[in-house]
Amino acid sequence: MFLNKWWQYLILATVVAVLAVASLIGLAAVLIYPDLPSLESLTDYRPKVPLRVYSEDGYLIGEFGEERRAVVKIEDVPLHMKQAILAAEDERFYQHGGVDTLGVLRAAFANLSAGGAKEGASTITMQVARNFFLSSEKTLKRKISEALLAIKIEHSLSKDRILELYINQIYLGQRAYGFAAASQVYYGKPLDKLNAAEFAMLAGLPKAPSRYNPFANLKRAEARQNYVLKRMRELKFLSESEYQASLKQELHFKASRQSRDLAADYVAEIVRQELYSRYQESIYSSGMKVVTTILKKNQLAANEAVLRGVLDYDKRHNYRGPEGLVHLAHGDQGSLEALMDDALDDVQEFGGLVPAVVLDASPKRIKAYRQNGHIEEITGDGLQLVARTLAEKAADKQKIKRGSIIRLYQANDGKWSVVQLPQVEAALVAADPQSGAIRALVGGFDFTRNKFNHATQAWRQPGSSFKPFIYSAALEKGLTAATVINDAPIVISAAETGSSEWTPQNFDGKFEGPMRMRTALTKSKNMVSIRILQNIGVPYAQDYIQRFGFSAKDHPPYLAMALGAGSVTPWQMVGAYSVFANGGYRVQPYLIAKITDAQGKLIEQAKPVSAGAGAEHVVDPRNTFIMTSILRDVARIGTAAKARELGRYDLAGKTGTTNNLVDAWFAGYNPTQVAVAWIGFDQPRTLGNQETGGHAALPMWISYMGKVLQGVPDEPYPVPPGVVQAKVNPLTGLRVDENESGLYEYFYQEFLPPLAHSGESNILDGEEPAIPPPGGGGGGVSPMLQDQLF
């Protein structure tokens, strides 16, 4: 009897509820439905897709926009992804008409049983309506509007289209909109590469992206993931074995929280600025895609080269001390970790240099705490930078002790070392010398810390790395690699300098007397460079260097131009040295290969002119061949002899060091790759004793070229027509007979020097030796050159 009455009450309550809902819907239809927004934004869906920048080989370098979004078609969404979403959000999606009445009743019963609002009843269609048209305010009118809009949407669009809109529009944390974008943000891979466990994690995010974000709270995210997996098993989307395997599946999240596959922030910013200048604010939402000329292998090599360059520089100089101090009382482990985590929250990581708190320090070991419970021990070579400061007599401000905030760096071999945030900056630019395509660009130690691009914006003196352009001009004027020039003191009048009298010096302070031009450039002799410029004339040289892309205004018409006293950027130097590498063609360095719109339609395609295929031939190939042969000597037996460790014979280049060791350069190449490395301070000051181009910049270049040329065979430089080889007396530069002793040298056919017994001279301006070379005899010939045949 009681049971029958219970059923009667239930039926009556249901009828009343249905009538109430029907009345409410009828009233809403009359009052609200006419004011519902048009569905045009759904039928003509144009999401705000950010500007994306890619490397030539398809790796994401950067994206710019308020929303991270990647649009995917419903047919390209993996089945398990769809099923995970339905299991988490709306299992009856394909059965209801926009509002799930059964779901509403089930949620109401669950909430009454729980004594509060524990379960929602929003369908996927209702969420689409809310995301596109409505606010998130919790009012009855908004809820009714949401339901009516859902019904309207269901009448206008197919189920698959509604699900596609949801998959692309829903917010999933970390500025990611849509599941395709979230897949890249959280896992660093596309949707079709995920497994069921990863799908479930993503499907759990729409309920509360900030709460279930695995980057913010992994335990909470895993609990939500397990719920989604359980629902997928209950709905038979997963078998029992698949369910169990997914529960045990270890998740591997993206190491970097930045949305990119390849670190090339300075490149991305160059592209952003260029596109903004053309298209203004629209670039941030129109979905443009830019493909650059960057190659991942090259960029990674450049990144590492610059980082190691600045860290190694710091190792050669003093440790400046810890960045702060945390007062660590001896308490329980949990409270200490919380204290250290809070302190480290305020210290930003730059360039992979991780902040840490010292737990214990001794001359042979440092024990340090990294955020989230990681403890590292640093010993041996890892303490090289701070070895002095670990001594008991170290200055207080440099002293490392318990609680000190320091920086750690983990090398590729997994070993940690103590480092410090560098004050010095560095840059490296590399290109294909045949086309001008930029293959790698690093504009500084860390873009987040210093957005000034030293590769393109830093106008610095090139020092001796500029000398090859003066020597090239001399070859065109009739001087030869065998012309003998006096390395002797010289005084330049105020009229010639434009300011005051100048007594230049060689970098090493030594004068070696007459020597061949080849020897002088190999040894980077300043006196010889100045005499060459005096001979060919400053106006001629100022005009000639424009063939390499330099502007005359950046190189004032004074003899100091011979020593690189003008201004250049690393980007400029890459283009200039490309002329030597490609046989005399002027190619324009370029970075943007093509631009497409959101639909993949081509907007712009680069049309570079290459060496031998449209590029202007600005320098005689005989000139570039002879210059390359000299610059190969620089890289084998001269100021850049350290490059020999690469074990190649096709490398050529020139070091550069400016007055007071303010800037250090190395610019070099082979036929397939040209690269320029620079290091210095933003506010120019000396780099310190011995910090020359060969010591501070060349190692970066070697590191880069060693990686990108690995496995690439040596490429010989063919002798161009019009170049002849002849044996010369190294002391006079005059030709000798084949049966006489001497060295072989390359010449233009028309500029062959006279025979030694002709009575003519091959000494510049007929100068007689003013200073005998060390050890007597008057040739100024390096012993290293005695066995060189050309």
Reading the block at residue 270, the tokens are: 């160059």
Backbone angles phi, psi at 655, to 5 degrees: -80, 160
Tell me how far the alpha carbon of residue 786 is from its chain's centroid: 44
CA 207/CA 446 separation, integer angstroms: 37
Separation in Å, CA 231 to CA 126, 190, 245, 426, 724: 21, 24, 15, 54, 82
87 and 224 Cβ atoms separated by less than 8 Å: no
- What are 440's strand-pairing partners? 430
Separation in Å, CA 607 to CA 36, 220, 242, 430, 520: 51, 52, 52, 19, 40
CA 538/CA 558 separation, integer angstroms: 7
389 and 398 Cβ atoms separated by less than 8 Å: yes
CA 2/CA 786 separation, integer angstroms: 117
Q: Which of 275, 320, 378 is nearest to 65 (CA)?
A: 275
Q: How open is the CA angle 520-558-659, to the nearest 5 degrees?
A: 60
What is the DSSP secondary structure assignment for residue 7, as one 8-state letter? H
Q: Say whether 370 sits in a helix, a strand or coil.
A: strand
> Which residue is catalytic, options 55, 63, 67, 89?
89
CA 405/CA 324 separation, integer angstroms: 5
> Is 145 one of the catalytic residues?
no
Q: Rounded to a whole number, what is the largest CA-CA distance in the chain? A: 138
Q: Are strands 68-69 and 176-177 parallel, antiparallel or unpaired?
A: parallel
Q: How open is the CA angle 48-257-311, to the nearest 5 degrees?
A: 130
How buried is residue 396: exposed, middle or buried, by Cβ count under 10 Å (0-12/13-18/19+)? exposed
CA 407/CA 311 separation, integer angstroms: 12
- What are 460's strand-pairing partners? 568
Q: Which of 768, 686, 672 is nearest to 432 (CA)?
A: 672
DSSP string covering 253-298, please? --SSSSS-SS--HHHHHHHHHHHHHHHGGGGGTB--EEEES--HHH
Residue 334, Cβ neighbours under 10 Å: how many? Answer: 8
Residue bearing tokens 């970098």:
507
CA 87/CA 380 separation, integer angstroms: 54
CA 693/CA 665 separation, integer angstroms: 5
> Which residue is catalytic, options 259, 285, 464, 529?
464
Please list, in sequence order, all residues whose beta carbon lies within 8 angstroms of the beta carbon of residue 441, skipping any fewer than 6 positions away: 264, 266, 267, 270, 294, 299, 302, 428, 429, 430, 455, 591
C-alpha atoms less than 13 angstroms from C-alpha of 492 in its C-beta half-sphere: 21
CA 195/CA 192 separation, integer angstroms: 8
How buried is residue 757: exposed, middle or buried, by Cβ count under 10 Å (0-12/13-18/19+)? exposed
Separation in Å, CA 83 to CA 203, 236, 243, 486, 594: 9, 10, 13, 83, 38
> Is 464 one of the catalytic residues?
yes
Reading the block at residue 650, the tokens are: 């096709």
Residue 694, Cβ neighbours under 10 Å: how many? Answer: 23
Separation in Å, CA 137 to CA 67, 145, 146, 621, 628: 22, 12, 11, 73, 72
Can you give the C-alpha Rg of the chain in angstroms?
35
Q: Which residues are catalytic?
A: 89, 464
